[in-house]
């Protein structure tokens, strides 16, 4: 299966369908496990991890640790150029923009900045045009570098802007939310939302490096922190039973911002994400498993209105729905379903829709019909199957089960 994943770019649509069905048949069953572990170094009294992401000539490192701004010259300078544009939002700017500008300018670069409005509702082509306007105003050329300073919304938009400005410039990810640190800053998915669907306009554009200073989490609101924990739970459910079991013992430590627990969770998440992306950069197969809960979650975000819920909140409920779906299909035990629900709830994530939500089964189906995992008119879902840490990608699910699950959650 791994070999077929590597060669899928040249496959016909029929072969693509066969690949997805093969994955659906065998599940993942522990076949894919991280091959490249983090390198640990001791710096200034704190531990720093470096996770490599192997993509040949486009390989890069993910740097994780406390007080990395103090080492930022060493980390950032190889990825920067003579002109740098730091793009952030109005919430992050007062906290970290000055430090980021100073770090980027240590090598003599000319550093400029752009501050955008904060929120998922601003993840749009209007914001992309604001970035384009600023870059053109500054006469940035193809050797210039964009720096994404912020959470997942900023990272996705800046990466997309870098992909299309003058047909492509380099960019660096400096995530400041847990969601971005463990997921969206790694792997090169970029884009913006469309009124009819989330992340429908975008491209794959890998950063030159990712700098994760965990000190940024000190200022993160509790709700944003919990949102990021959703993605860590996902990795445990689909890929790493030991991580899930660790979360069952330590999720309260994460919510309390325990430094050691947080560093481990971020490192482990990045190891898993890096290994999957290295095998399947453009989501031709195994990378789609990282979307557990996201098909339902994206429909929730669209239905409630972008910005009403955080992405991780929608994914948390989406994973609960996927767990129920998997149980009703007969693919997991009641015990595993209950463990998933219990951990999602302990992470302060929703397992039901809010009152007066206005979502309907028909609305869910309409939104999911435009999902990026629709192949030749057939919706592939990422569901759990077998023991903890295993999942499958399949279009061979029962529509009666879909109707039952949607009726339950929309009631």
Active site (catalytic) residues? 167, 189, 231, 273, 283, 287, 291, 294, 298, 311
CA distances from 78 to 54, 83, 171, 273 (A): 17, 13, 12, 23
At 394 the three-state DSSP class reads strand
Residue 111 pairs with which residues in a beta bridge? 84
Which of these, 168, 159, 146, 150, lies nearest to 192 by C-alpha position? 159
Beta sheet of 210-213, edge-to-edge order: 39-43, 46-53, 60-65, 210-213, 170-175, 145-150, 83-89, 110-116
- Compute φ and ψ for 111, nearest 5 degrees: -110, 130
46, exposed or middle or buried, with CB in 10 Å at 0-12, 13-18, 19+? Answer: middle
Please identify which residue in the block is written with the tokens 């195994």.
286
Beta bridge partners of 378: 375
> Is the sign of the CA dihedral 124, 130, 135, 139 positive or negative?
positive
Please give the C-alpha separations between residue 405 and each of 148, 237, 366, 386, in angstroms, as whole numbers: 38, 19, 15, 20
Q: In the numeric block, which tokens belong to residue 76?
A: 């950032």
- Distance from C-alpha of 344 to C-alpha of 350, rounded to nearest angstrom: 7
For residue 349, give the DSSP letter. -
Integer Cα distance of 197 and 188 in angstroms:
19
């Amino acid at each position: 299966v791994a070999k077929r994943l590597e060669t899928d770019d040249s496959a016909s649509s029929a072969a693509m369908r066969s690949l997805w069905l093969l994955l659906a048949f065998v599940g993942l069953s522990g076949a894919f496990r991280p091959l490249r572990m983090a390198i640990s170094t001791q710096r200034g009294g704190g531990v720093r991890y470096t996770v490599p992401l192997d993509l040949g000539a486009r390989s890069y490192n993910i740097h994780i640790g406390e007080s990395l701004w103090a080492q930022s010259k060493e980390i950032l300078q190889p990825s920067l150029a003579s002109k740098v544009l730091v793009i952030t939002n109005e919430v992050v700017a007062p906290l970290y923009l000055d430090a980021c500008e100073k770090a980027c300018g240590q090598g003599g670069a000319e550093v400029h900045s752009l501050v955008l409005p904060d929120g998922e509702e601003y993840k749009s082509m209007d914001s992309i045009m604001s970035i384009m306007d600023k870059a053109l105003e500054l006469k940035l050329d193809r050797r210039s570098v964009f720096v994404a300073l912020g959470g997942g919304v900023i990272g996705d938009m800046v990466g997309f802007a870098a992909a299309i400005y003058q047909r492509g410039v380099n960019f660096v990810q400096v995530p400041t939310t847990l969601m971005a640190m463990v997921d969206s800053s790694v792997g090169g998915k970029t884009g913006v939302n469309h009124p009819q669907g989330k992340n429908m306009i975008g491209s794959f554009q890998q950063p030159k490096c990712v700098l994760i200073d965990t000190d940024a989490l000190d200022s993160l609101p509790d709700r944003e922190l919990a949102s990021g924990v959703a993605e860590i739970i996902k990795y445990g459910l689909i890929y790493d039973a030991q991580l899930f079991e660790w979360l069952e013992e330590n999720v309260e430590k994460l919510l309390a911002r325990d430094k050691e627990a947080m560093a481990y969770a971020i490192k482990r998440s990045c190891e898993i994400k890096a290994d999957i992306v290295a095998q399947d950069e453009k989501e031709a197969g195994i990378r789609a498993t990282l979307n557990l809960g996201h098909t339902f979650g994206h429909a929730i975000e669209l239905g409630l209105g972008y910005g009403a819920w955080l992405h991780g909140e929608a994914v948390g409920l989406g994973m609960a729905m996927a767990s129920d779906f998997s149980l009703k299909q007969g693919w997991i035990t009641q015990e595993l379903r209950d463990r998933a629900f219990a951990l999602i709830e302990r992470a302060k994530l929703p397992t039901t829709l809010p009152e007066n939500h206005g979502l309907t089964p028909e609305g869910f189906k309409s939104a999911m019909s435009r999902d990026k995992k629709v192949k030749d008119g057939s919706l592939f879902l990422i569901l759990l199957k077998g023991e903890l840490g295993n999942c499958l990608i399949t279009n061979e699910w029962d529509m009666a089960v879909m109707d039952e699950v949607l009726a339950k959650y929309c009631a």
